[in-house]
């Protein structure tokens, strides 16, 4: 089978089992060349494992995948010369300086000594790490560490870059810097597969998004498709008093003739509804019943709501308990 050249990733039924646990459980994935694909899921969903499979770091227990048409199980070297991985945790030699790390990567990519130095200097400057070039990476801040880590991955611009939770733990400024870097990479034609737990990040960067939970992809599409799949309009309400909630649910369900969901916190409610007149009506009924509302919005659902609807309440709880254990 000759693969269509415009696919960066075509994965079919990927499975990875750790002991008895199916960490990745039949993942199908297609990523078009030159796009950003967002991989969204709670803790333990299988995001990192999927990336490690696709980056030739793990052997799948089932299924197959092609990277730029090259078979994952047979053409590892071909694939490795096209991809790059920035792992979830910094994969840099912390005892070396930023400069030394990048020169080393340049040499390992095949540059001569002078070219590797020049390239390292250029990247440090572009990533705003010039002043830190001669400092050991262990003295870097979280944001600087992330940037040097990404810089090390693109010493030679890869055709496909895997970014595993690139902005976790960064302040908004550092996060924006990383986003700028990702956008610049895409501008130069690199395909990016990024995992994230932040819906805003997927919304901002990704052309297409897959939601993964318990090793399975449960939804896939553009961010507007995902939002539409949940409903076109969403009413979100926050009550002042938690004890009003049962009454509020009754009133809203009555006025809107739609299901009203109680959110995990004790005062929030959401409902899928398109008719703005009904919404206005329902709100005035709440006012007549003296149920105070501290916040409300009506519009297209946020990705957060999509995420919660798709993964379900249990997934969120499970992820939390899992985090507690590890």
Residues engaged in binding Mg ion (CB under 5 A)? 48, 88
**Smallest separation (angstroms) from ligand ATP to the CB of 324:** 12
The mark string for 228-267 relative to another protein (x by CB under 8 A, - otherwise) is ----------------------------------------
Under 8 Å between Cβ of 110 and 188: no
Pick one of 30, 81, 88, 204: the residue that binds ligand ATP (CB under 6 A): 88
Under 8 Å between Cβ of 198 and 206: no
Estimate the crossing angle of helix 98-109 against helix 142-153, to 10 degrees.
20
**Smallest separation (angstroms) from Mg ion to the CB of 86:** 12
Q: 117, 112, 123: which is closest to 148 by C-alpha? A: 123
- DSSP bridge partners of 194: 38, 163
Judged by CB under 6 A, does residue 43 bind ligand ATP?
A: yes
Span 102-131, contacts to another protein by CB under 8 A? 104, 107-111, 115, 119, 122-123, 125-128
Under 8 Å between Cβ of 109 and 117: no
Quickly tell me which residue has 């902005």 as its tokens. Answer: 167
Judged by CB under 6 A, does residue 53 bind ligand ATP?
A: no
How would you classify the pairing of strands 36-40 and 191-196?
A: parallel
Dist. CA 168–CA 264, nearest whole Å: 23
Which one of Mg ion, another protein, ligand ATP, none interacts with residue 96, CB within 5 to 8 A by kind? another protein
Helix ranges restricted to H, the chain: 47-54, 76-80, 98-109, 113-126, 142-153, 172-187, 199-205, 223-230, 245-256, 276-288, 303-325
CB-wise, 45 or 160, nearer to ligand ATP?
Answer: 45
**Smallest separation (angstroms) from ligand ATP to the CB of 87:** 10
Which residues make up the interface to another protein (CB under 8 A)?
Answer: 52, 55-59, 77, 80-81, 83-85, 87, 89-97, 100, 104, 107-111, 115, 119, 122-123, 125-128, 136, 152-157, 180-181, 184-185, 187-188, 190
Which residues make up the interface to ligand ATP (CB under 6 A)?
Answer: 18, 21, 23, 41, 43-49, 88, 197
């Amino acid at each position: 089978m000759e693969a269509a050249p415009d696919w960066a990733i075509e994965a079919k039924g990927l499975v990875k089992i750790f002991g008895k646990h199916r960490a990745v459980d039949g993942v199908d994935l297609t990523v078009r060349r030159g796009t950003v694909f967002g991989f969204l899921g709670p803790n333990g969903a299988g995001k990192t494992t999927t990336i490690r499979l696709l980056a030739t770091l793990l052997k799948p227990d089932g299924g197959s995948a092609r990277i730029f048409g090259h078979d994952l199980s047979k053409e590892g070297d071909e694939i490795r010369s096209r991809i790059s991985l920035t792992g979830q945790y910094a994969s840099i030699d912390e005892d070396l300086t930023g400069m030394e790390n990048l020169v080393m990567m340049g040499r390992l990519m095949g540059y001569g000594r002078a070219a590797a130095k020049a390239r390292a200097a250029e990247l440090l400057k572009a990533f705003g790490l010039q002043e830190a070039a001669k400092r050991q990476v262990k003295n870097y801040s979280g944001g600087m560490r992330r940037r040097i880590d990404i810089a090390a991955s693109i010493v030679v611009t890869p055709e496909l870059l895997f970014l595993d939770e690139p902005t976790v733990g960064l302040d908004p400024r550092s996060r924006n810097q990383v986003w700028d870097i990702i956008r610049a990479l895409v501008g130069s034609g690199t395909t990016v597969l990024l995992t994230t737990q932040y819906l805003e990040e997927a919304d901002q960067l990704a052309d297409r998004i897959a939601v993964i939970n318990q090793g399975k992809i449960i939804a896939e599409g553009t961010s507007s498709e995902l939002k539409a799949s949940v409903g076109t309009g969403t009413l979100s309400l926050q009550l002042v008093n938690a004890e009003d909630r049962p009454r509020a649910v009754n009133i809203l369900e009555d006025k809107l003739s739609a299901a009203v969901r109680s959110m995990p916190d004790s005062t929030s409610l959401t409902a899928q509804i398109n008719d703005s007149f009904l919404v206005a009506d329902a709100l005035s009924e709440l006012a007549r019943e003296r149920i105070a509302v501290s916040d409300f919005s009506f519009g297209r659902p946020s990705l957060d709501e999509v995420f919660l609807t798709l993964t379900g309440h249990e997934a969120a709880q499970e992820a939390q308990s899992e985090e507690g254990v590890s």
